[in-house]
Amino acid sequence: MLQSNPHTTSTPDSGTASGSTRIDRSDIEPINFVDLKAQQALIRDDVERRIKDVLDHGAYINGPEIGKLEKALSQWTGAEDVVLCGNGTEALEIAMMGASVGQGDAVFIPAFTYNATASAVLMVGATPVFVDVYEDTFNMDAADLEIKVEAVALKGELTPKMVVPVDLFGLPADYAAIRKVADAHDLRILADGAQAFGGRQDGRFVGNIADMTATSFFPAKSLGCYGDGGAIFTRSKEEGDVWRSIRWHGTDEARRESVRIGTNGRLDTIQAAVLLSKLSIFDQELKRRAEIAAVYDEILGEVMALPARPENCDHGWGYYSITLDDRDGVRAALQDKSVPTAIYYQQALHTMEAFKAFAPSNGLPVAEKLSERIISLPIHPYMSDDQVLYVAQSVRELVG
């Protein structure tokens, strides 16, 4: 069985959180941006036992762990059905194929996200239409979505078909506003929740906010396996069955005849076994991420704008991202202090070589500005209290 996560028993106390105790680099272990080794130390025995089970039964494809994990994820999120697949990109593609998105269709996506959101659209033969984002939440701007949908409808070359909001860094997009636009123009909503497993809006977890949600279990994600993995969540069992068919070459239930176009989109049984183990500590990890974010908020709040926390949302804290005027200078100084950081994203999608043919002529000013200012601080659940303080104090010293 798993041991409990020692971090969850000790919330950083508020005296320390205020930053009154100064932490020196020599007081702490080196900080990693993500620490899968520390996590593995907690679950190693359980993971080995579960992998041994797979080796014993030998069903490497579609073994019992697949159905078990689909059920567990459905229970965890409240989604009606969950279909595991090979990675988060494939999850997006399969959901689009299931909704018959293809050539001649426009799919509206934010310009400030990972490239996979755009490539999935192109891989199914549809056309990405880039939408700007809000400066505070970094998520899709619903007013700009409306403008872009109307422009496409007016031009008449493409059919507006789907919108793919991204829950960037763990924060759910503004689905109420997006839904209004989607309903008015008959668009389906597919949430890209690849960074947001564990995030919540109006009491619903990512996976059960939009009609369809894709996520990724890439190792560095909040819930990640030991390789590639992904899943799609739906409110409709029928849709889930279509996705199961698509992920297995579009075959019927007996897997004899291809009844639609499909692909090999399956998750390996061994990865499902790893995820079952990781899911058992996920609640504790989520809690710890929120504790770290609260300490960062407290120490950094006086000197900079904090990541937005809309009242109806619980952030999943896949990343703690802030914007800084001298982002690159601060980043270099943090590196000198052994504080690892990451930049997601250096470039807005519509400025990239592969996608610039789809760039709007007047650009997307907020996405472009963010790409010059954004920086993410480490927020993995295995940071010690002192490491958290050291990161926050280091940033505050440089920015304050």
Ligand X SMILES: Cc1ncc(COP(=O)(O)O)c(C=O)c1O
**Closest separation in Å from C-beta 47 to ligand X:** 20
Q: Strand pairing of 230-234 and 81-85?
A: antiparallel
Out of 76, 108, 112, 114, the residue judged to bind ligand X by CB under 6 A: 114
Buried b (16+ CB within 10 A) or exposed e, 127-165: bbbbbbbbbebbbbbbebbbebbeebeeeeebbbbbbbb
Residue 63 as a binder of ligand X (CB under 6 A): the answer is: no
> Which of 39, 77, 195, 341: binder of ligand X (CB under 6 A)?
195
The window from 20-28, 187-195, 262-270, 309-317 that contacts ligand X (CB under 6 A) reads 187-195
Report the b/e string of 49-78 with b at 16+ CB within 10 A. ebbebbeeeeeeebbebbeebbebbbebbe
Distance CA 110, CA 329 (A): 27
Phi, psi of 313 (to 5 degrees): -120, 145
Which H or E element spans position 210?
none
Q: Does 113 bind ligand X (CB under 6 A)?
A: yes
Selected range binding ligand X among 1-9, 87-95, 251-259, 278-286, rule: CB under 6 A: 87-95
Q: In the bound complex, what is the minimum distance in angstroms from residue 102's beta carbon to ligand X?
A: 20
If one counts every other C-beta atom within 10 angstroms of the C-beta of residue 334, the result is 18
What's the CA gap between 171 and 190, in Å, rounded? 15
Q: Does 109 bind ligand X (CB under 6 A)?
A: no
Contacting range for ligand X; rule: CB under 6 A; set: 12-20, 113-121, 131-139, 306-314: 113-121
Tell me the Cα Rg of the chain: 21
CB of 117 to ligand X, least distance (A): 5
Window contacting ligand X (CB under 6 A); options: 81-89, 96-104, 128-136, 277-285: 81-89
Q: Which is nearer to ligand X, 194 or 370 (CB)?
A: 194
Determine the residue with CB nearest ligand X: 88
- The total number of residues shown for the chain amounts to 400
For ligand X, give the closer residue by CB, 19 or 128.
128
Phi, psi of 167, rounded to the nearest 5 degrees: -90, 75
> Pick from 137, 213, 216, 284: which binds ligand X (CB under 6 A)?
216
What residue type is assigned to position 376 of the chain? S
Q: From 84-92, 183-191, 198-206, 242-250, give the range in contact with ligand X by CB under 6 A.
A: 84-92
Cα 258 to Cα 168: distance, rounded to the nearest angstrom: 36
| Residue 194 within binding range of ligand X, rule CB under 6 A | yes
Per-residue interface string for the shown chain with ligand X, residues 148-167, x marking contact by CB under 6 A: ------------------x-
Closest to 92 measured CA to CA, from 117, 57, 59, 122: 117
Is residue 116 within the footprint of ligand X (CB under 6 A)? yes
Retrieve residue 172's tokens.
């759910």
Tell me the H-state helices in 269-326: 269-279, 282-300
Among 12, 19, 88, 199, binds ligand X (CB under 6 A): 88
> Nearest distance from residue 190's CB to ligand X, in Å?
11
Residues 6+ apart with CB under 8 A from 41: none
**Tokens matching residue 32:** 């990693």
- Residues 284-323 touching ligand X, rule: CB under 6 A, are none
Binding mask 218-257 for ligand X (x = CB under 6 A): x---------x-x---------------------------
Q: Of 89, 271, 321, 384, which lies in the binding site for ligand X, with binding defined by CB under 6 A?
A: 89
Of the candidate residues 5, 87, 139, 341, the single one contacting ligand X (CB under 6 A): 87
Nearer to ligand X, 318 or 378 (CB): 318
Contacts to ligand X by CB under 6 A: 87-89, 113-114, 116-117, 166, 192, 194-195, 216, 218, 228, 230
